[in-house]
Chains A and B, each alone.
Chain A
Amino acid sequence: MDFGPHLMLAAIEGAVAAAVLALTALGLSLVFGVMRVVNVAHGEFFMLGAVLAWAVAHLVPGPAWAGYLAALVLAPLLVGLLAAAADWVVLKRVQYDPERTIVATIGLLYILQQATLMAYGPEARPVAAPFDARIALPWPEWGPEGLVLTWPWGLGTTAWKLVVIAAAALLVALVFVLVQRSRAGLVMRATQFDRETAQAFGIPVARVFALTFALGAALAAIGGVLVVPIQQAHYLMGGDPLLLSFIVVIIGGLGSLRGTVVAAILIGMSDGIVSVFFSPTLAKILATLLVAFVLIFRPQGLYGTRAA
């Protein structure tokens, strides 16, 4: 295959990575923005989404798509409930103190990981995509007769990857509408800005925090459900999304949702492309280097308003 078509394949891999990363990082960013909590356990919510997708898909009888659809609804819901409970019994108890929440969420990370290991086991398990179609992609070329489309052998992708990209884009748009346009979003933004004054105007900050933490976790879980047909469910799979989400949130600017999405596309695309042409390890090294540069030269991130 020529370089052009090869790059296009890599770009699709990158777009899938970017799509899932945008969801996961948006959850982390939302939680940090509104609650000022650095959630070290965020990757475990992603992992739980994937593992629960496997469990639900196996419990629901009938065709593969039915199980998968059930998982798409149930896994984020269950993970959201779990997160709300964790907020109530752990984060609220330490009064959202920045240092203590870091330690508490590290504890949460190990509890969730080890509990999954005990209940689900160390195996990586696949979940079938709801449909299994491959799409051959055309490659445009300028010939003597102008633009012609050719179908190079091997240039194709699974329809599922395109669905993942579309679903993530839709969900990201929904999160923006929720935060920027809805009443719930207004309450979240007011709480983010000044939680004491928010209370003085009747906003139940404790409930807003529980719901924000649940929403952030559910976004990571949906990311996990969407990738599980591509990447198998495994109890240690939360590490990379956590690292990359942190990278994205720092590059985008702490607390800026727009910056988070832009940085997710940047990091996701480069991660996908570098992984295809070179190696996933090199991709992580580059992303980490980029964060170091951002922290040195633009500590507020791309869209951040104040220095972090």
Chain B
Amino acid sequence: MLRIEGIDAYHGRAQALHGVSLEARPGEILCIMGRNGAGKTTLLKAVMGLVAVPAGRIRLGEVTLSDLPAHEVPRHGIGYVPQGRRLFAELTVAENLAIGLMTRGHGAATRERVLTLFPRLRERLDQRAGTLSGGEQQMLAVGRALCLEPSVLLLDEPTEGLQPSMIGLIQDVARQMRAQGVAVVLVEQRLEAVLALADRVAFLETGRLRSVIPAEALRERPDLAATYAGVG
């Protein structure tokens, strides 16, 4: 279980997170909603050690992730799909996957599983990532994260700007990961996507956690999204 315990985070001198506490449980999809600039991306980056956490801590089981240098965080099984994909655009598809496989995972077997999940990537292994279509790039971004055999998967607006068919595919993968016991944390702006996937929903507003509610509560009263985070 991933536990975020009262963390603050800053960009320069501007405080982006104020005492946020949240946990992500194995086998569930936790959605994070909030307006642009609410601190959703900062929260995921804090977990990855990419922004410093001067107060509070982040733990995964017995390991205090917030004490580790950033490059050691993924070794504990945290897969990250950054906002905007952030592929290594000048590297090939195969090389992007190889980067994911380096840290963890089980080499050929893991790679095979990822390519079975995204057969389109197998056809384009030697193509530069930057030349893929938007949907294929997102598959690669997710595939690269799955190469770490994560027990926690962080997805930052993975369906932003994608066609409906692609959105469905990415959502299916999120569900499959949940079924395999992965703790999925999904930053998502669109209410219908959240309603389709979430087990619990957390609302962020200007760096503060407003509320965490079960998804059923949001399905019954979708207006809560507007109430808590001004979205939806």
Contact = CB atoms under 8 A, between A and B. Distances in A.
Task: Find the residue from A186, A187, A201 having the highest chain B CB count within 10 A.
Answer: A201
Nearest to B90: A193
Interface string B80-120: 10100010111100010011101110000000000000000
Nearest to B72: A202
A201 B102 contact: yes
Contacts of B102: 183, 187, 201-203
Interface residues of B, number: 26
B221 interface: no
Contacts, number: 64
A240 interface: no
A176 B82 CA distance: 31
A241 to B, nearest CB: 29
Contacts of A193: 88-91
**Most chain B CB neighbours (cut-off 10 Å) among A187, A196, A204:** A196
Given A193-B90, A193-B91, A186 B98 contact: yes
Contact of B88 (A183, A189, A205): A189
A289 to B, nearest CB: 32
B207 interface: no
Interface in B127-180: 144, 148
Contacts of A203: 71, 99, 102
Contacts of B80: 200-201
A270 B73 CA distance: 51
A206 B69 CA distance: 10
Interface residues on A, range: 10 to 19
A183 B103 CA distance: 12
A199 B73 CA distance: 9
A190 interface: yes
Contacts of A205: 71
A212 B219 CA distance: 53
B50 A190 contact: no
A132 interface: no
A199 B80 CA distance: 11
A236 to B, nearest CB: 39
Contacts of B72: 202
A196 B42 CA distance: 13
Contacts of B218: none
B70 interface: yes
A199 B100 CA distance: 11
A183 B101 CA distance: 11
B15 to A, nearest CB: 20
A187 B102 CA distance: 9
Contacts of A189: 88, 90-91, 95
B27 interface: no
B70 A197 contact: no
A199 B72 CA distance: 8
Contacts of B99: 186-187, 190, 198, 201, 203
Nearest to B101: A201
A206 B72 CA distance: 12
B74 interface: yes
A204 B102 CA distance: 12
A199 B50 contact: yes
Contacts of B71: 199, 202-205
Contacts of A204: 69, 71
B50 A196 contact: yes
A194 interface: yes
A199 B49 contact: yes
Contact of B104 (A186, A187, A202): A202
9 interchain residue pairs of minimum CB distance: A202-B103, A199-B70, A202-B74, A197-B86, A204-B71, A193-B88, A199-B71, A200-B80, A200-B48
9 contacts: A186-B99, A190-B88, A196-B50, A197-B86, A198-B88, A201-B99, A202-B102, A202-B103, A204-B71
Given A193-B91, A200-B74, 6 more contacts: A189-B91, A190-B88, A200-B73, A200-B80, A201-B148, A204-B71
